[in-house]
Amino acid sequence: MDAAQKALTRAAARWSVLVLACALLVIPLSGSAALSAAPTRIISIVPAVTEMLFAIGAGPQVVGVSSFDHFPAEVETRARVGGLLDPNVERILTLKPDLVIVYSARSDLAARLSRANIATYAYETGGLANVTGTIRALGERLGRKAEADAEATRIERGLAAIRARVAGQPRYRTLLVFGREPGSLRGVYASGGVGFLHDLLEIAGGDDVFGDVQRENLQISTEQILARSPDAIVELHGPLTPQTLAAERSVWSQLPGLPAVRNQRVYVLASELLTIPGPRVVEAAKMMADALHPPK
């Protein structure tokens, strides 16, 4: 494996960690977080929630973010405290937060912070409606209800406009892929019939080919892909060079019998915003809709 391939593999691995964190993991504030005064020093190890905090004007209160946070640009000036799999508890404690946003899957981290008398917000993704639900909950908690309501309404209207634009267009049976080994069809992860990725696809005018599977994500084989015979394939990646994007799209030519391949409906979308269930979901839905149903 040459240096370029190794770099691509490492980048894909980092992307997969972020994607699976989003896809596997909004629930109300609980415990001391629901009872204390509005926090003034917030740490978020959840990129989606970090984006929400900045979107409702709470950015100045954010003192620490995860290793995977890169939007908005202001996060680059904040302390890094690890991520889902490797939170740096010592660093978190040093920053003296009065609220830490954690994944619900890390109950051990929440318990440790609770013992240090630090309030936590336990987060887990669900359907697309949970994005605006979380934004509104944060607004209530942080004393920014008006800003949060305005942001949530903006998102809801944006998604409704996309749904209206594609109404009446053909609804292709679509395989939505968000992870696989670079340059191959091994280790393919796809959207199931629940979760925000599934909801985005539905709004964008596609019917999830695995919509009958009540899971947010599933690992699938080429045999399963062939059996489902999708009319279109939408594949989500982090940022790629044009050459790499073309190479990844060409991988699907290994399955020439698929209607999606035969009819040239394989769409590889490359942007880090595509799998973050935060304020940029309208942009993600638009990218999917523009691929499946290009504006006239």
State the pTM of this model. 0.85
Assign residue 275 a region (left: φ > 0; alpha: ψ between -120 and 50; beta: otherwise): alpha
CATH pick for 171-292 out of 3.40.190.10, 3.30.1490.20, 3.40.50.1980, 3.20.20.70: 3.40.50.1980
Report d(CA 58, CA 248) in Å as an integer.
Answer: 38
The answer to whether the 3-162 and 171-292 domains have the same CATH topology is yes
Q: Report the C-alpha gap between 209 and 175 in whole angstroms.
A: 5
Which of 84, 85, 38, 93 shows the shortest CA–CA distance to 64?
93
Q: Which two tokens stand for residue 177?
A: 């892929």
Rounded to 10°, the helix 196-203/129-142 angle is 120
Pick the CATH number of 3-162 from 3.90.580.10, 3.30.1490.20, 3.40.50.1980, 3.30.1050.10: 3.40.50.1980
Instruction: Map out the domains of the chain as residue ranges.
Output: 3-162, 171-292
pLDDT tens for the chain, residues 1 to 296: 554 444 444 444 444 444 444 444 433 444 344 445 789 999 999 999 999 999 999 999 999 999 999 999 999 999 999 998 899 999 999 999 999 999 887 788 989 999 999 999 988 778 999 999 999 999 999 999 999 999 999 999 999 999 999 999 999 999 999 999 999 999 999 999 999 999 999 999 999 999 999 999 999 999 999 999 999 999 999 999 999 999 999 999 999 999 999 999 999 999 999 999 999 999 999 999 999 999 88
